[in-house]
Amino acid sequence: MKRIILITAVALFLAPAAGGWGRLGHSTIAEIAERHLTPEARANIEKYTHGTPLAEFASWMDEIVVTPPYLEEFKGWHASVCTPDCKSPLYVRKQVRNCRDGVTAMEFFREYLKDYKEMPDSVVLEAIKCIVHIVGDFHCPAHVRYTDENNGLGYQVMFFGKSWKLHSVWDSGIIQKASGLDYRGYREYADRLDTWNKRQIRKVTKGWAREWFEDVASDVRPTIRTIPEGAELGDEYVEANIGLAELELRKAAYQLAKALNTIFTSSPA
Ligand SMILES: [Zn+2]
């Protein structure tokens, strides 16, 4: 990561890969987080983003996922691993490219970016894009990988009469159906979800990625193995699960703000 990685033009021609939350979810998380940045963190981040909204970077990791060198570089960061009792094994490595999962990468970035002011701008911008995405991904139920289960949900179900991977239902189907919005509606979705008070926000932003992810894993655990392959899912399934999906979107948003405020503020509160 110390080296400067050029964003290849090739990436622009690749169709976005289906990823945690899809564009609506990731952009909504980033939009809410941006509204909760400290003035100092906002100013420091804008030196690298030049005012581009964080929401526009939120799915970048999914868009370049199959592009070398990112294929190797980011392998594994879109999901995070936990034990059956919802503990993160935390595969901490000093080499970010060998990280095993998103939570580990977030633990790494906290240390790595301590001297961000000494780094090339392009390296810091790339790290910002990664952080904005990774915090979203490890809150997506289909991206929680229990060591005793394959929770990738990579099998087909019928969702409102069409064949979908259950994974994609969680990535984007539930929140799109419930909100009535597509990715262009992320600001409106952010308005609807950004309703927690300071006490609620403080409660869910204690700690760092490891604690946040273990909390997600506990929330998600009861939902696994409940849907058989080929099941017919519709309004009832959306209504039963939108609460969990929106809970994780909110947690991701406020925790992303906390992460960025911590890294990009000299003396975070
Ligand atoms: Zn992803």
pLDDT at 100 over 60: yes
From the CA of 76, how far away is ligand 1's center (Å)? 9
Q: Quote the pLDDT of residue 93.
A: 54
Q: So where are the chain's domains?
A: 12-264
Taking the C-alpha atoms of residue 79 and residue 237, their distance in angstroms, rounded to an integer, is: 23
Taking the C-alpha atoms of residue 132 and residue 49, their distance in angstroms, rounded to an integer, is: 12
Both tokens of residue 182? 């597509």
From the CA of 63, how far away is ligand 1's center (Å)? 9
Over residues 174-219, the pLDDT tens digits come to 999 999 999 999 999 999 999 999 999 999 999 999 999 999 999 9
- Letter string b/e over residues 160-172, b meaning 16 or more CB atoms within 10 A of that residue's CB: eeeebbbbbbbbb
User: Is 76 within 8 Å of 101 (Cβ atoms)?
Assistant: yes
Taking the C-alpha atoms of residue 84 and residue 218, their distance in angstroms, rounded to an integer, is: 9
From the CA of 167, how far away is ligand 1's center (Å)? 12
From the CA of 216, how far away is ligand 1's center (Å)? 16
From the CA of 146, how far away is ligand 1's center (Å)? 17
From the CA of 197, how far away is ligand 1's center (Å)? 28
**pTM (whole model) above 0.85:** yes
From the CA of 44, how far away is ligand 1's center (Å)? 25
From the CA of 130, how far away is ligand 1's center (Å)? 9
CB atoms within 10 A of CB 178: 17
From the CA of 80, how far away is ligand 1's center (Å)? 11
Q: Does domain 12-264 have CATH number 1.10.575.10?
A: yes
From the CA of 133, how far away is ligand 1's center (Å)? 7
From the CA of 138, how far away is ligand 1's center (Å)? 9
Q: Which residue has the higher pLDDT, 24 or 1?
A: 24
Determine which of 76-80, 210-214, 254-258 has the lowest per-residue pLDDT on average: 76-80
Q: Quote the pLDDT of residue 17.
A: 38
From the CA of 136, how far away is ligand 1's center (Å)? 8
